[in-house]
Amino acid sequence: MSKELIIGPRSERVREELAEAAAWSAYAAELREVLGAAIEKSGADLLEVSGLLVSEPLPEEHRGLRNGAEVRPPQAIGLAEGMAAGRGPYCQLAAPGRLQIESGWDGAVHLYTTPAVAADLAGFHGEGVTFLWRHAAPEPIEVSDPVDAVADAGFWARVAEVSERLTLVCERWAYGAQGCRWGVARGQWETPDE
């Protein structure tokens, strides 16, 4: 991916007040249209969530959201709009090698895409949006020890089986104050290093 498109609100009031601005809904509609076109032209049926940041409990519609979760385009568009509005939750959404969506400042959303998709999107214009194209690539997301599965009931059952005394286990599933889940097990729990 070598093209970056920054989509932002044209109105200074929308940039300052975000979703509280009277003109937010017009900007959000145009943003959803561009995001939908970018996802479709990228051929992405699912986008992977990474870098998830939550500062409050997730609302019901995002209850299953985790780093590594895959979301369908309508949910990805809703997440991107929520990030632009300042509501969160904040994350990166990616179809590896084809498209990456990140939130920016002041209601902006950054799309990183291929030159072919950028050419397809070049004709988009809107009354409430600005488009800034740059030659760029997103910073690589390096994970030293990636998690490939969430801690489900089976995981906690295995922890309980091997435990003989009280053990606290923290599953960090996202960044932020609300991004961890604690579990309690009884007994000795051996780590892979032991």
Q: For 68-96, write each residue's pLDDT tens digit.
A: 899 999 999 999 999 999 988 999 999 99
Point out which residues pair with 105 in neighbouring strands: none
pLDDT under 70: residue ranges of the chain: 137-151, 159-160, 162-173, 175-182, 184-194
How many CB atoms are located within 10 Å of the residue 20 CB?
11
Q: What is the pLDDT of residue 53?
A: 87
Query: Is there a contact between 113 and 3 (Cβ–Cβ < 8 Å)?
Result: yes
**Which residues have C-beta within 8 Å of that of residue 140, sequence separation ≥ 6?**
none
Instruction: For residues 138 and 123, give the distance between their C-alpha atoms in angstroms, rounded to a whole number.
Output: 23
- pLDDT attached to residue 178: 64
**What is the per-residue pLDDT across 141-163, written as a single tens digit (0 to 9) for each?**
565 666 666 667 777 777 667 66
What's the rounded Cα separation, in Å, for the pair 129 and 107?
10
Residue 91 phi/psi, 5° resolution?
Answer: -165, 175
Say how far apart CA 94 and CA 193 lie, in whole Å: 33
The whole model's pTM is what? Answer: 0.74
